Amino acid sequence: MTHERKPLGGKLLTKPFWVLLSLAMIAGLLLIKRFLFGIGAVTNLSDGYPWGIWIVYDVLVGTALGCGGYSIALLVYIFNKGEYHPLVRTALMTSVFGYTLAGVSIFIDIGRYWQMYNVFLPWHINVNSIMFEVAACIGAYVFVLWLEFSPTFMEKLNADKAKNKMNKVLFIFIALGVVLPTMHQSSLGSLMIIAGEKLSPIWQTSWLPLLFLLTAITMGYAIVIFESLFTAVALKRPLEETPILGKLSRIMIPLLVLFMLLRFGDLAWRGQLGNIFTNGLLGGFFVIENILFLIPIVMLASAKNRMKASTLFWSSGAMLLGGALYRFDTFLVAFNPGPGYHYFPSASEILITVGIVSVEIMAYLIFVKKLPVLPVVKTS
């Protein structure tokens, strides 16, 4: 059941790495501006749109993309599907980055960051607040993720004793690592229930938590597939994981079908189906979302297709895009605070997000090259 892993090695400061580093430095300079002159100095946020891409991309989409660890852990440890074990460590690593940087993004985005610890002070917390649950859960989960990932460092440091001890109690963190994302990925959807009439009725529903949870889990599988294939190509490794990824991709279909049934059923129940056609632009976004969700359902239906790397790549890509768009729509596109308000991210805002993503990719490169993350390639 265990697999041999070792650091990839190789040169770290490649050309792409320099590009990423300069992007990160641009973002760093812009962040100095943000902390000196306020959020308004770098963003297009307004009183009507208090949340922009930092929250919607970096936090919502970012953590959904970081659901790989959660989704795979669910499969491997809870449903005891040992065959997916080789995917655990890479998935976990993406989760660690995704969530850590989401935490960093929150720190950048919130106005009174130096008081952030108030979320954990019992005399300050508000148990009625969805935001409290989200913040506390994400905070705790980032901690859990690093603990779950810690055996990797221990291997690197040859700390076998510590690793064995850790492995004994790891099951606690694995269980927590499933409960916490279940809680906050659903609550990320619940966040918008309080927006009431400001969110279009096509998206506004009491089922938001379940819809968000389903897409988050599905996106977790999709990111594992997408990332494995992409990095294999980018790092010039053989596509030897395709069969197991193909098998994994099958799980996405029932999840997506359930999501679609729930979504359309809810729309029909609330009598909002007609709204999709009368609601011009928003209707269009809704249709695009659903097409993106349909692509993996259709493309991955046959076993033969599931064995093709490019099919897996495109269908998981569509799933990620669909899940991301669903989050963007719920929090920005279909969110209308009233006439006169507009939001489109400013260049600085985008550059900061780009910088954060660059840091994520750089960290990935450092980790796979220096730590035993990727499985050893069997030379043929």
Which lies closer to another protein via its Cβ, residue 77 or residue 149? 77
Residues 6+ apart with CB under 8 A from 257: 297
What is the Cα gyration radius of the chain?
Answer: 21
Which lies closer to another protein via its Cβ, residue 256 or residue 332? 332
Closest CA to 116 of 143, 140, 139, 98: 139
| Least distance CB 359 / another protein (angstroms) | 15
Per-residue CA distances from 201 to 28, 155, 175, 195, 377 (Å)? 39, 51, 36, 11, 50
Contacts 24+ apart (CB under 8 A), 299-308: 300/249, 300/250, 300/252, 300/253, 301/253, 303/246, 306/246, 306/247, 306/249, 306/250, 307/242, 307/243, 307/246, 308/242
Residues 6+ apart with CB under 8 A from 265: none
Which lies closer to another protein via its Cβ, residue 215 or residue 330? 330
| Least distance CB 312 / another protein (angstroms) | 9
- In the chain, the amino acid numbered 325 is L
Which lies closer to another protein via its Cβ, residue 13 or residue 197? 197
Residues 6+ apart with CB under 8 A from 5: 89, 155, 372, 373, 374, 375, 376
Distance CA 23, CA 53 (A): 17
Distance CA 234, CA 62 (A): 21
| Least distance CB 297 / another protein (angstroms) | 19
Which lies closer to another protein via its Cβ, residue 14 or residue 167? 167
| Least distance CB 233 / another protein (angstroms) | 5
User: Which tokens in the block code for residue 269?
Assistant: 């129940």
Q: What angle do CA 288, 291, 76 make, to 5 degrees?
A: 120
DSSP label of 307: T
| Least distance CB 368 / another protein (angstroms) | 17
| Least distance CB 2 / another protein (angstroms) | 4
Which lies closer to another protein via its Cβ, residue 200 or residue 348? 348
Distance CA 266, CA 284 (A): 19
Which lies closer to another protein via its Cβ, residue 182 or residue 272? 182
| Least distance CB 136 / another protein (angstroms) | 8
CB atoms within 10 A of CB 57: 24
Which lies closer to another protein via its Cβ, residue 96 or residue 135? 135
| Least distance CB 82 / another protein (angstroms) | 8
